[in-house]
Structure 1
Amino acid sequence: MDFQLTDDQVALRKGVRELLEGRFGGPALREAVAWDAAAPDPGAPALDRALWRELGDAGFFALRVPEDEGGVGLGLPEAVLAFEEAGRALLPGPLVATFLAARDVTGAARGETVVTAVSGGLVPWLDAADVVRGDATGAVPLRSVDPLTPLHRVPGDDGEAGGAPEADLLLAAEQLGSAGKTCETAVRYARERTQFGQPIGAFQAVKHLCAQMLVRTEVARAAVYAASVTGDTAEIAAAKLLADEAAVRGARDCLQVHGGMGFTWEADVHLHLKRAWVRAGLGQPAARAEEELAAAL
């Protein structure tokens, strides 16, 4: 099976990256997290509805909607590429739920309707959503570790029901994008930062950290891309497990490469780690995914 991207897929990935870099690049990300998360009652960050509609106009949410229904008419592999770029950019909002609702919720495909869903017992962006999928009765707000992902928890829901396999795969794609970004960030910093008269990337310990980040990212990439082609539930479970590990451990290792600088609010590394923690808690729980994968093996 050939997993090399086609010219059209490469162009799609490039187009999504350019769109997000232009509309939600570094300055926009910093502006989005500027709300006072440490305040006694910080509320929640506001969802950028204008950005949401721009994503809709660009066809982001309608990628899998058939052309005869006004969509782009592409497949799951292309959706994975788009969500990988969203993960790189730390794009906020209930992207997965809105994307999956594009065919049956009016306005979702155009970015006019924001949809969220109960996922792993958690509900992201509940207050900003126009439509909630799943039973969110009695949902209580949580103090989210990620300043750009407000969360509610549904009492009595331990998350064992999990979510749809496609939702898990798209979450894995976002994790993959974040893992790739933190790996690139660590390598760039290791080349630029000098200590004892040479780049820190020349030191064996730093080399090992960067190499391990790359290996985890590429293993996760192979798993996520393969699952997007087969659609197999066990392969999706494996992809989510590997992508969660690549994103969380990659962000931690990136922090290690940066040293004290990585822990400052000015660096973006901690934002990737916090988002990776949140995504790992959404969808099918890791323990259940491991059991499903073990049973399939």
Structure 2
Amino acid sequence: MRFQLSDDQRALRSGVREVLDRRFGREALRAAVDAPGRLDRELWRALGDAGLFALRLPEAEGGAGLGLPEAVLAFEEAGRALLPGPLVATHLAAGTVPGASTGETVVTAVDGELVEWLDAADVVRGDATGSAPIRSLDPLTPLHRLPAGTDSGAPDGNGTQIPVATLLTAAEQLGTAARVTELAVQHARTREQFGRPIGAFQAVKHLCADLLTRTETARVAVYAAALTADPADIAAARLLADEAAVRGARDCLQVHGGMGFTWEADVHLHLKRAWVRAQRGGGNTESEELLAAHLVT
């Protein structure tokens, strides 16, 4: 199995990163944090123009005609940038919901008892009747909860693409894990204590090494699952990516020390997003159950 990216895949990843750096840099990120719940429609259309939502649509239908590996690379970059909005739901709706592929229509989906970005969405896949807003840990992911005991089903509304939704969420988590690894290493190199960079101290070295190990382990699992599209592989990738993102962000906070907990730092935003993503369908409990059933059979 080959994990070396092709030239076209490298170009795709680089292109997505350039678009996000230009359209959703740190100033835009902070502006979004200061205006929680407001989805930037201009940015959403720009994502549509860049082909994020139509990436896997056949060329005959106006898409790029690419596959899961390319979608994983794009969503990894989205996770790295903390890009807000119901990205996975809109991507899955491309080709079936008019305007989803171009970014003209914002699509969200009922995911168990939760719905992300309900007030900002034009189309909701699944029954969100009776849902009420709840306080979200992540200021960039507004949430609604369905009435107790209600479960309106699959993330894409019909259950046929649940593994894809799980894999793309894992890719976003991988992007977060990679970014917090970068932030931790950068800080360890530049922050000095006792006349030395803190990265010279063994405890900090170990934290950074663990960050890298978890991230690269998750990367191999996510990329492999994108190639096989096997539900068990996707479940394993999701477990590893959730762990890499959540534990990675926590360790990154540890490397930053007290300043990492301040509102001005971005590290806490990565941790909060990782926590919220980990609650989506296909998360720890569901993935563990799927893997257990696969091992038994």
**TM-score bin (small chain):** over 0.9
Contact 2:239 2:283 survives alignment (8 Å): no
2:182 and 2:127 mapped to 1: Cα distance? 40
Q: Name 1:208's counterpart in structure 2.
A: 206
2:53 and 2:153 mapped to 1: Cα distance? 25
Q: What is the percent sequence identity of the aligned residues?
A: 73
3-state SS of the aligned residue for 2:111?
A: coil
TM-score by length of 1: 0.95
Contact 1:160 1:285 survives alignment (8 Å): no
Q: Name 2:193's counterpart in structure 1.
A: 195
Q: Within 5 A, what are the aligned runs for 1:36-51?
A: 44-51=36-43
CA drift of 1:286 comes to: 1.4
**Unpaired runs of 5+ in structure 2?**
156-161
Which letter maps to 2:233? E
2:201 and 2:7 mapped to 1: Cα distance? 38
Per-residue CA deviations over 1:31-51 (Å, capped at 9, x if unaligned) read: 11123xxxxxxxx52100000
TM-score by length of 2: 0.95
Q: Within 5 A, what are the aligned runs for 1:154-233?
A: 154-157=146-149, 163=155, 164-233=162-231
Contact 2:37 2:117 survives alignment (8 Å): no
Which letter maps to 2:134? L
CA drift of 1:157 comes to: 4.8
Q: Name 1:105's counterpart in structure 2.
A: 97
Out of 132, 139, 148, the residue aligned to residue 147 of structure 1 is: 139
In the TM superposition, structure 1's runs of 4+ consecutive aligned residues that sit over 6 Å from their partners are: none
3-state SS of the aligned residue for 1:33?
A: helix
Contact 2:134 2:145 survives alignment (8 Å): yes
Contact 1:124 1:149 survives alignment (8 Å): yes
Taking only aligned residues, the RMSD between alpha carbons, in angstroms, comes to 1.3
Per-residue CA deviations over 1:75-122 (Å, capped at 9, x if unaligned) read: 010000000000000000000000000010000000000000011321
2:127 and 2:149 mapped to 1: Cα distance? 10
**Unpaired runs of 5+ in structure 1?**
36-43
3-state SS of the aligned residue for 1:132?
A: strand
**Correspondence 1:12 to 2:12:** yes
2:149 and 2:279 mapped to 1: Cα distance? 13
2:196 and 2:242 mapped to 1: Cα distance? 33
1:159 and 1:284 mapped to 2: Cα distance? 14
1:102 and 1:209 mapped to 2: Cα distance? 40
